[in-house]
Amino acid sequence: MSNLITNIQGYSIHDGPGIRTVVFLKGCALNCLWCSNPECISPNPEIGFIKTLCTKCGRCATVCPNKAINSKPGQLPVTDREKCCGCGACTTVCVQEARVLYGKPMSVDEVFEAIKGDQLFYQASGGGITVSGGEPLLHPKFVSQLLAKCKQAGIHTCMETSGYAAESALRQVLPFTDYILFDLKHLNSDSHCRYTGKPNELILNNAKTVISNGTEVLFRMPLIPGINDDPQNIRETADFLHSLGKKPIAIQLMPYHELGKGKYESLDKSYPLAGLNAIEPERVDTVQELFKSMGIDCTISR
């Protein structure tokens, strides 16, 4: 049992309780315009090219089996993305690490070995492992086996999910998940489809499933100016949270930023929200107060 992993990030304090190690899986059914992890969207391996690190040596072109890299002396190499198969051969000869393989096959045991060394940090802080992506629920067998192995070792488990996956996949993973970070991006299904590529009915139904299962959950909202920060969407989100019947009801705001912009460039992709500035702190505070006025415990991810 193996899966494509884009990154294993240690010492994270924003992806669940305590100090955590985050495992980023590849593949996502959504295509959110503000995604800060575009390397995790495609289910296939991809090569990232960090142009500022390139010395124009041309070694990458000499080892590419598909002749997908065009390199000329003194110029930055150009990758034909249609020919590139994501094999990673070019990354093995790039001494400057300008080329990065997004999507390395790893087994459950390999991932577990990579994270268990930080158990002392988990125990001291109440942390553990968080599976993220991409969308972990696209890989329910892999995720359930990994989380089961962690629970057996006494490691707290958390899953970060968009909720857009089959209910059967969610139910397969829930028995091994101590905590869930569940995104609510937009309550209007048409708007959700416009900005993420999919409607939200499946997501809202899965949110209800998580609550009925009794799993501890923190709902989160990526707060995007001009897209989902309007009073109507905030009211509809608050009404939905109240309808779940869980007390106390909580949501965490994740203010929009442009930190993922460089990743789009490394993949030769246009940044979907080019020109959109980071949301003003005052606006975030206003949304927080609006949620609180509606009886929702609202925090801000800083």
Domain boundaries, the chain: 2-43+104-300, 46-101
Helix H or strand E segment including 293: helix 281-293
Question: Considering Cα of 23, then 213, then 196, then 295, what sign does the dihedral take?
Answer: negative
- Of all residues in the chain, what percent carry a pLDDT higher than 70? 100
Closest by CA to 248, choosing from 292, 290, 204, is 292
How far apart CA 33 and CA 263 sit, in angstroms, is 14
Could you tell me if 230 and 62 are in contact, meaning their C-beta atoms sit under 8 angstroms apart?
no
Residue 247: pLDDT band (50, 70, 90) is confident
Cis peptide before 248 (omega within 30 of 0): yes
Question: Which amino acid, 11?
Answer: Y
The fold for domain 2-43+104-300 equals: TIM Barrel (3.20.20)
Per-residue pLDDT averaged across 20-34, rounded? 97
Matching residue, tokens 């090219």: 49
How far apart CA 253 and CA 66 sit, in angstroms, is 44
pLDDT score for 184: 98
The model's pLDDT over 58-87, given as tens digits with 9 standing for 90+, comes to: 999 999 999 999 999 999 999 999 999 999
Please identify, in words, the CATH class of the domain defined by 46-101: alpha beta
Could you tell me if 242 and 26 are in contact, meaning their C-beta atoms sit under 8 angstroms apart?
no
pLDDT score for 182: 98
Closest by CA to 184, choosing from 165, 167, 166, 207, is 207
Is the pLDDT at 270 greater than 80, yes or no?
A: yes
Q: Maximum CA pair distance of the chain?
A: 65
Closest by CA to 223, choosing from 297, 180, 280, 264, is 280
pLDDT score for 273: 96
pLDDT score for 237: 98
Structure tokens at 270: 């246009």
Helix H or strand E segment including 156: strand 156-161
Q: At what angle do helices 231-243 and 281-293 cross, to 10 degrees?
A: 40
Is the pLDDT at 283 greater than 80, yes or no?
A: yes
Per-residue pLDDT averaged across 215-233, rounded? 97
Instruction: Report the chain's C-alpha Rg in angstroms.
Output: 20
Could you tell me if 161 and 183 are in contact, meaning their C-beta atoms sit under 8 angstroms apart?
yes
Q: How far is CA 36 from CA 78, 87, 271, in A?
A: 24, 24, 10
The model's pLDDT over 162-218, given as tens digits with 9 standing for 90+, comes to: 999 999 999 999 999 999 999 999 999 999 999 999 999 999 999 999 999 999 999
Average predicted confidence (pLDDT) for the chain = 96
pTM for this entry: 0.94
Classify residue 214 as exposed, middle or buried by CB count within 10 Å of its CB (0-12, 13-18, 19+).
exposed
pLDDT score for 255: 97
Residue 248: pLDDT band (50, 70, 90) is confident
Range list of H helices, 117-256? 119-125, 140-152, 167-173, 189-196, 201-213, 231-243
The model's pLDDT over 88-146, given as tens digits with 9 standing for 90+, comes to: 999 999 999 999 999 999 999 999 999 998 999 999 999 999 999 999 999 999 999 99
pLDDT score for 265: 96
Could you tell me if 251 and 220 are in contact, meaning their C-beta atoms sit under 8 angstroms apart?
yes
